[in-house]
A and B are shown apart, each in its own frame.
Chain A
């Protein structure tokens, strides 16, 4: 146990590193929030402040007046939830098989995961577009969901394989000894232990799909189907000029669903991971 103890200076260093990381992550978001509530003259101030001197909701009003944010958010939500559910539904049994029955399949699956992660999407977008066109899935959210599922599947599979391996095979053997069949063991023993992993994977697939821009831009032609990241670019002009206030307001709102989903599921993820980790 003594090997796990950390000396004072090392602990301080760890906390400083953690603090630096938190600041690194939080500052852009806080600046976004601050910008969203600033009136136009404050946005052009030479000495900007963290807390708006004259906070306003005008940017939000303007953002909603100029762009169909609610409709776009609904489109994003449908695409992201569907993509997350399907990705998890497909990846979970696949991950179980590849993790439990090590053989050529597991090796091939792992190789596929690594290779697929190395492809930049600009390389696949044109062939993908042509395939979806032949399937009459261009300009449909169903086509977009299909792309998101395929895109997030390798990483989801890789994540879930780790969770499956963490569930001791002995538990399943014990259930079998007690007379449980294969299905019963999977449903009553393995699945509950995998739940945190499944939730984490679904969260990953959701956030990936929620934030995705380029596939949605290319695949959805009609304004009624556009997703939130695509609509957000309508606040951008040429050469980096932007309608900064409304853009910040809309971007701030766009980050909320991910934060809410994560906040709601976070306890479940960590709680589930720790449950039964040690003998009590």
Chain B
């Protein structure tokens, strides 16, 4: 037995020797900043890494350590890291995830740090997405509008009017066109497939085009939900397409965007409303000879306006080197670098100088369509409303899902969003 125990003990000792910490930074006068990026696709990771390498080569006294995080778990990871005082110095996230961290004092208020060039480069609507209370807690740098990706052959052969950013479809016209298209496509095929795994953000963001707001700030500062005629336009159109017109399949309502692509490539669906970045997947996965085009989302009384939650870069409040971190962000988000990041992620830059770059204005892969709607992008409704995550998960998501599938009518949807919703919000706004 001793013969067996001895090697086992040796293995254990060896393993633990290999496990020793050794994570102290050397005291060489170099400022080391940890940058957690959520870039995940190869082109995007490459663009991020190259920029970090360029910075490190030019700034030997301020070293950026690139760490890859994950969209899937970033909130929980940051929450824990902030509590433990071990958060990265520079944090990549999205504006709709910042509210808790901003209100909790985990993120630095960037106002005293922001260079004028960067502040002036990003429009006010962009800054509003990262403004919580008085402070600015992140630099919005990439954003994606929702567009309609269409099968060009089906669209051309049907003879329907093809919309452009200057002459988009109205929501009523969109509904009519999906009826015409479905008729011309034959049985078992649909004009549009709505991937509505996240029905709330789609409904609210596109709802802005018809003048919907849903969340109203009262004189006393409290926020209440009101479901007006304008709020009903987009959900009503989707509901009618699925339930009444049968121009959109019920089966994709619970799907994510990627799940609809096989049907789109096979010609089962003529159009799929998707985030702008899905173009990358389509470009990579589309079968040979498949022709696709990018159309603007339908317009309402507010034109092409829609809500977005841009990707953001923030600085941890605990970071002892905030100025250096901001110097890196200033470099990272120079117009030419923002263009590289945007192309890597297939998204739109928030900076006006980057957005003017010819490579983001080309018709190829629909860049021009996205760039044309960029100025109409606004902060997603409710991203700064306290209690929004619970309202979304417990009230709005099931209500929209049931409405779109035909299980409840518009009156019941309104009742749930407003009555049940306001009860949830009230708990967060007690003074």
Most chain A CB neighbours (cut-off 10 Å) among B16, B19, B77: B19
In angstroms, how far is the closest chain A Cβ from the Cβ of B146?
Answer: 12
B23: chain A residues within 8 A (beta carbon): 138-140, 221-222
| B residues 252-274 touching A (CB-CB < 8 Å) | 256-258, 261-263, 265-266, 268
- A236 contacts which of B21, B70, B79, B84 (Cβ < 8 Å)? B70
Interchain CB contact under 8 A, B21 and A89:
no
Chain A residues in 8 Å Cβ range of B363:
none
Inter-chain CA distance A236–B70, complex, in Å, is 7
Q: Are B40 and A234 in contact (CB under 8 A)?
A: yes
Report chain A residues within 8 Å CB of B268. 46
B287 contacts A41, C-beta separation under 8 Å: yes
Separation of A188 and B34 alpha carbons in the complex (Å)? 54
Our pick among B12, B42, B84, B94 for the contact of A86 (Cβ within 8 Å) is: B12
Residues of chain B lying within 8 A (CB to CB) of residue A41? 285, 287
Q: Is the interface of A mostly helix, strand, loop or mixed?
A: helix
Whether A221 lies near B67 (C-beta < 8 A) is yes
**Chain B residues, CB < 8 A from A242:** 258
Closest residue on chain B to residue A48 by CB atoms: B262
- Do residues B72 and A218 form an inter-chain contact, with CB atoms below 8 A? no
Contact between A241 and B72, CB atoms less than 8 A apart: no
CB pair A45 B262 closer than 8 Å: yes
Q: Do B84 and A138 touch across chains, with their CB atoms under 8 A apart?
A: yes
A-B interface pairs (CB < 8 A), number: 137
Q: Is the CB of A239 within 8 A of B256?
A: yes
**Pairwise interchain contact A137-B21, C-beta atoms closer than 8 A:** yes
Chain A residues with CB under 8 Å of B22's CB are 140
Q: How far is the CA of A188 from the CA of B258 in the complex (A)?
A: 60
Whole-angstrom distance between the alpha carbons of A130 and B62 in the complex?
Answer: 28
Q: Is A40 an interface residue (CB 8 A)?
A: yes
A78 at the interface (CB under 8 A from B): yes
B218 to chain A, nearest CB (A): 32
Q: How many interface residues does A have (CB within 8 Å)? A: 54
Residue from B41, B66, B84, B265 in contact with A44 in the complex, judged by beta carbons closer than 8 Å: B265
Interface string of B43-73 (1 = CB under 8 A from A): 0010000000000000000000111101111
Interface membership of B157, Cβ < 8 A: no
Main secondary structure of the interface of B (DSSP, over half): mixed
Note all chain B residues with C-beta closer than 8 A to A191: 1
Give CA–CA (A143, B86) in the complex, Å.
15
| Contact residues in B for A82 (Cβ distance below 8 Å) | 12, 15-16, 19
> Which of A136, A140, A213, A221 contacts B34, CB < 8 Å?
A221
Q: What distance in Å separates the Cβ of B120 from its nearest Cβ neighbour in chain A? A: 29
A98 CB to closest chain B CB (Å) equals: 22
Q: Which residues of B contact A187 (CB under 8 A)?
A: 1
Is B68 within 8 A of A129, CB to CB?
Answer: no
Please state if A234 and B70 are interface contacts (CB–CB under 8 Å). yes
> Cβ of A133 < 8 Å from any Cβ of B?
yes
Q: How far is the CB of B13 from chain A (nearest CB, A)?
A: 10
Choose from A85, A130, A223, A238 the contact partner of B94 (Cβ within 8 Å).
A238
B11 and A243 contact, CB distance less than 8 A: no
* Assembled-state Cα–Cα distance A233/B68 (Å): 10
Instruction: Encode B310-348 as 1/0 by CB contact (under 8 A) with A.
Output: 000000000000000000000000000000000000000
Whether a CB of chain A sits under 8 angstroms from the CB of B81 is yes
What B residues does A142 contact at CB under 8 A?
16, 19-21
- Across the interface, name the chain B residue whose C-beta is closest to A230: B70
* A199 on interface, CB distance cutoff 8 Å: no
Specify which chain A residues have a CB less than 8 angstroms from the CB of B21 in the assembled complex.
Answer: 136-137, 139-140, 142-143
222-249 of chain A: CB within 8 A of chain B: 222-223, 230, 233-244
Contact B76 A214 (CB under 8 A): yes
Q: Is the CB of A85 within 8 A of B12?
A: yes
Q: Does B285 lie within 8 Å of A222, measured CB to CB? A: no
Contacting residues, chain A, for B229 (C-beta < 8 A): none
A85's partner among B8, B73, B197, B256 (CB-CB below 8 A) is B8
A213 to B77 CA separation, bound complex (whole angstroms): 11
Asked if B100 CB lies within 8 Å of chain A CBs, one says no
Instruction: List the B side residues contacting A139 at CB < 8 Å.
Output: 21, 23, 86
Q: Do the beta carbons of A223 and B67 come within 8 Å of each other?
A: yes
20 pairs, A vs B, C-beta closer than 8 Å: A44-B262, A45-B262, A45-B265, A46-B263, A46-B266, A66-B45, A78-B18, A125-B80, A126-B83, A129-B84, A133-B85, A138-B23, A140-B21, A142-B21, A143-B21, A218-B80, A222-B67, A223-B66, A237-B40, A242-B258
Cβ-closest 10 pairs across A and B: A140-B21, A142-B19, A233-B70, A46-B266, A44-B285, A238-B71, A82-B15, A129-B84, A141-B19, A46-B262
| Known contacts A44-B286, A129-B83, A222-B23, then 9 further A-B pairs from the complex at CB < 8 Å, ordered by chain A residue | A62-B42, A85-B11, A85-B12, A129-B86, A136-B21, A145-B19, A235-B40, A236-B72, A238-B94
